[in-house]
């Protein structure tokens, strides 16, 4: 039993139709839709190339009718879109209610266990982003997946929230196109705005861990104005509290004047960056924008900044930067490097990257001087 949850319009039905189309050549698939008509799903299947002789479609919202279709077809995969639209005559309540949703899920779980039938359920989410319905819904199923994406971006991500059969921190990246949803083995280009050309002040590149997948991310900052009584702070794709803390550390520990200037910070490609490993990249991007000095284009920055201004070592650097045969280790400390000659991010500089993995350097050593 697999539960796929996501916001309206993110592409859950399109994704599962792609899954059904790829599974149909290997076995019979039954796709049950309770939110759309059969004609709507058929049009989407024709547009995305998902029409197959072994892919059957049923527009039903009654659990008894679904069980009857399963008895007639004996499918190898059952997709129900969505569980909140299904109802059963055995219990009272409106479709989508707690009682009906629990009863339908329990019945489908029993059907899956009895016949060895894989079942994919589509679930709604609440205004806060949590999975709608009773909490027991997540306990009943074997796998819970979260389908995320910004409506202004084509990037879509499937995150594992629960998995009884393996790790729950896997992440799949997809791109929403006119032809459907396409998997992206390497989505690096979506999160980087620079493809050649001279470096621009106010940008820094880091590597963040999204589950088990390392993803390069570009952080951009814009600092403008001077002597503004109530300067504005605007953040996109970053944690507001973390950005406010880093701005205070930069002003107090590194001598970067920011209290009377407007500061804008954002990520590229709609990526969400919340881990502390991107602190140093954001600090260097803000300082670069304030002093109008661009970082080298071949620098990748990693480091966590504390309130005392220290740059802390980032855990799991080997996972962020897999070591290749003959390559140098990215974890060499810059502890003995003089402050005046220290690179922008501290440790290893090569033709492609520079790393900061030390716990002794001060944030003000590199940023306060403007080097």
Per-residue tokens: 363: 């944030």
Domain boundary residue among 133, 166, 185?
A: 185
Instruction: Tell whether 89 and 147 lie within a shared domain.
Output: yes
Number of domains within the chain: 2
CATH number reported for the structural domain that contains residue 267 in this entry = 3.30.230.10
Q: Which of 331, 329, 356 is nearest to 342 (CA)?
A: 356
The terminus-to-terminus CA distance of the chain in angstroms comes to: 55
Output Rg (C-alpha) for the chain, integer angstroms.
25
Q: Which of 205, 282, 267, 279 is nearest to 236 (CA)?
A: 267
Per-residue tokens: 264: 């804008």
User: Longest Cα pair distance anywhere in the chain, in angstroms?
Assistant: 77
* Beta-strand relationship, 119-123 and 143-149: unpaired
Instruction: Tell whether 179 and 199 lie within a shared domain.
Output: no
Domain boundary residue among 185, 211, 228?
A: 185
As a whole number, mean pLDDT of residues 20-27 equals: 95
Q: Is the pLDDT of residue 349 over 80?
A: no
Rounded distance between C-alpha atoms, residue 76 and residue 27, angstroms? 6
Instruction: Tell whether 290 and 261 lie within a shared domain.
Output: yes
Instruction: Tell whether 209 and 324 lie within a shared domain.
Output: yes
Instruction: Tell whether 181 and 198 lie within a shared domain.
Output: no
Residue 159 sits in which domain range? 2-185
Q: Which helix (H) or strand (E) holds 41?
A: helix 38-48
Read off the pLDDT of residues 60-115 as tens digits, 9 standing for 90 and up.
999 999 999 999 999 999 999 999 999 999 998 888 888 999 999 999 999 999 99
Instruction: Tell whether 114 and 201 lie within a shared domain.
Output: no
Q: Which of 118, 110, 108, 55 is nearest to 86 (CA)?
A: 108
pTM above 0.85, yes or no: no
Rounded distance between C-alpha atoms, residue 129 and residue 131, angstroms? 7
Instruction: Tell whether 230 and 117 lie within a shared domain.
Output: no
Q: CB pairs under 8 A, 24+ apart, for 10-13? A: 10/147, 10/148, 10/149, 10/151, 10/156, 11/147, 11/149, 11/156, 11/176, 11/181, 12/81, 12/82, 12/122, 12/147, 13/41, 13/44, 13/81, 13/122
Give the pLDDT confidence score for residue 359 in this predicted structure.
35
Place 322 in a pLDDT band, splitting at 50, 70 and 90.
Answer: low
Cα angle vertex 18, ends 17, 19, to 5°?
90
Instruction: Tell whether 166 and 217 lie within a shared domain.
Output: no
As a whole number, mean pLDDT of residues 162-180 equals: 87
Rounded distance between C-alpha atoms, residue 14 and residue 285, angstroms? 38
Instruction: Tell whether 224 and 109 lie within a shared domain.
Output: no
Give the pLDDT confidence score for residue 281 in this predicted structure.
95
CATH number reported for the structural domain that contains residue 78 in this entry = 3.40.50.300
Read off the pLDDT of residues 236-261 as tens digits, 9 standing for 90 and up.
999 999 999 999 999 999 999 999 99
Pure H helices in 57-208? 63-73, 98-115, 136-140
Read off the pLDDT of residues 126-157 as tens digits, 9 standing for 90 and up.
877 778 777 888 999 999 999 988 777 788 88
Give the pLDDT confidence score for residue 351 in this predicted structure.
31
Q: What is the mean pLDDT of the chain?
A: 83
Domain boundary residue among 138, 163, 185?
A: 185
Rounded distance between C-alpha atoms, residue 66 and residue 47, angstroms? 26
Place 196 in a pLDDT band, splitting at 50, 70 and 90.
Answer: low
Per-residue tokens: 189: 């280009």
Place 224 in a pLDDT band, splitting at 50, 70 and 90.
Answer: very high
Instruction: Tell whether 353 and 208 lie within a shared domain.
Output: yes
Read off the pLDDT of residues 326-344 as tens digits, 9 standing for 90 and up.
444 444 433 333 333 333 3
Instruction: Tell whether 75 and 178 lie within a shared domain.
Output: yes
CA 24 to chain centre: 29
Q: Return all residues near 103 (Cβ < 8 A) that are at least 6 apart.
A: 88, 90, 91
As a whole number, mean pLDDT of residues 39-56 equals: 93
Instruction: Tell whether 287 and 269 lie within a shared domain.
Output: yes
């Amino acid at each position: 039993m697999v539960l796929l949850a996501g916001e309206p319009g993110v592409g859950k039905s399109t994704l599962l139709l792609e899954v059904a189309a790829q599974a149909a050549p290997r076995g019979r698939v039954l796709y049950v839709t309770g939110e759309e008509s059969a004609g709507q799903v058929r049009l989407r299947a024709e547009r995305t190339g998902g029409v197959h002789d072994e892919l059957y479609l049923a527009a039903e919202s009654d659990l008894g009718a679904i069980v009857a279709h399963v008895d007639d077809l004996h499918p190898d995969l059952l997709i129900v879109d969505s569980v909140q639209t299904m109802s059963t005559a055995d219990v009272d309540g409106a479709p989508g209610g707690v009682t009906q949703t629990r009863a339908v899920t329990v019945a489908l779980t029993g059907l899956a266990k009895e016949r060895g039938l894989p079942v994919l359920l589509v679930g709604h989410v609440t205004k806060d982003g949590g999975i709608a319905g009773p909490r027991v819904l997540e306990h009943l199923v074997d796998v819970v997946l979260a389908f995320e994406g910004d409506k202004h971006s084509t990037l879509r991500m499937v995150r594992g929230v629960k998995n009884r059969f393996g790790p729950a921190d896997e992440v799949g990246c997809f791109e929403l196109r006119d032809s459907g949803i396409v998997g992206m083995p390497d989505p690096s280009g979506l999160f980087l705005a620079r493809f050649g050309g001279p470096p621009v002040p106010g940008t820094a590149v880091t590597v963040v861990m999204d589950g088990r997948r390392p993803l390069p991310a570009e952080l951009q900052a814009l600092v403008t104005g001077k002597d503004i009584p109530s300067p504005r702070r605007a953040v996109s794709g970053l944690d507001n509290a973390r950005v406010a803390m880093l701005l205070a550390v930069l002003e107090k520990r590194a001598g970067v004047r920011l209290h009377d200037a407007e500061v804008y910070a954002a990520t590229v490609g709609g990526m969400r960056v919340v881990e502390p490993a991107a602190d140093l990249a954001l600090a260097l991007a803000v300082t670069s924008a304030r002093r109008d000095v661009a970082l080298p284009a071949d620098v990748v920055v990693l480091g966590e900044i504390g309130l005392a201004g220290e740059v802390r070592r980032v855990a799991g650097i080997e996972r962020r930067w897999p070591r290749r045969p003959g390559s140098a280790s990215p974890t060499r400390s810059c502890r003995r490097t003089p402050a005046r000659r220290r690179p922008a991010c501290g440790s290893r500089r090569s033709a492609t990257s520079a790393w900061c993995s030390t716990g002794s350097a001060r944030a003000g050593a590199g940023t306060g001087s403007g080097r």
